[in-house]
Amino acid sequence: MLNSTGVQAFAHRGANNGVIPENTFAAFAEAVSLGYHLLETDIHASSDGVPFVFHDADLKRLTGDPRRLEDLSAADIASLTIHGNHAIPKLADLLEAFPETCLNLDAKSEAATAPMGRMIRDTGAANRVCIGSFSDRRIRMVMQAAGRPLCHSLGTAHAAQFYFAAQLHLPQRFSACCVQLPVTHRGVTLITKRTLAHARRIGLKVHVWTINDAPEMHRLLDLGVDGLMADDCALLKSVLTERALWQD
């Protein structure tokens, strides 16, 4: 999935800068209409094992329903709407609706891992996905269910190992294709020239989330990051176009 050269632009939960709700077909369609090929999203699974595109563990923020998504059947979830008129997408439908895109999929719970992996296997989407999670265990579980290695990022434990090895110039080897990080975490700046140089030495791309400020986008691009994730997809496209880095 991440074999292309140049800076990679990710539509974080689709194009959802406050106008279109996150993780909806409308948000992803807007991103695709802007020319995005990389869509970032989150996966939970229903109680009967159907993977859905949704970030939060419970449904309250976007639907008003306080229940947890994993406690509901797929039929129950299909009856709900985001902000009154947007369905909660199934992963299978998202893969089918945007066949020319690649998906960065964040496994939000262990319960989601097996349904995710099986869906990737059954739809032949292995070359279109990158698996992410705060948990290295979840990433392994997705690949186990898929029955094959998949492009994936570093989970939190391996990302911490990566960061400290960068400070000490220690050799490392990971099976991951990328590390996806915020600029800072708990007061520690993670995206520096040193960490970027270490990533290049060990063959990892560095993607930074979630950046919705043009000066910060420019600063990170000047540092040499490999990719940016943004909610404001029009802004990120504008910045990359200005720098002749946008890839149609």
| Catalytic residue ranges | 12, 55
Angle between helices 110-123 and 136-146 (to 10 degrees): 30
Contact 26, 20 (CB under 8 A): yes
Start-end of H helices in the chain: 25-33, 60-63, 74-78, 91-97, 110-123, 136-146, 156-168, 193-202, 214-223, 233-242
Dihedral (C-alpha) 153, 155, 161, 162: value to the nearest 10 degrees? 20
The CA-based diameter of the chain, rounded to the nearest angstrom, is: 53
3-class DSSP state of 78 = helix
- Lookup result for tokens 């910045």: 239
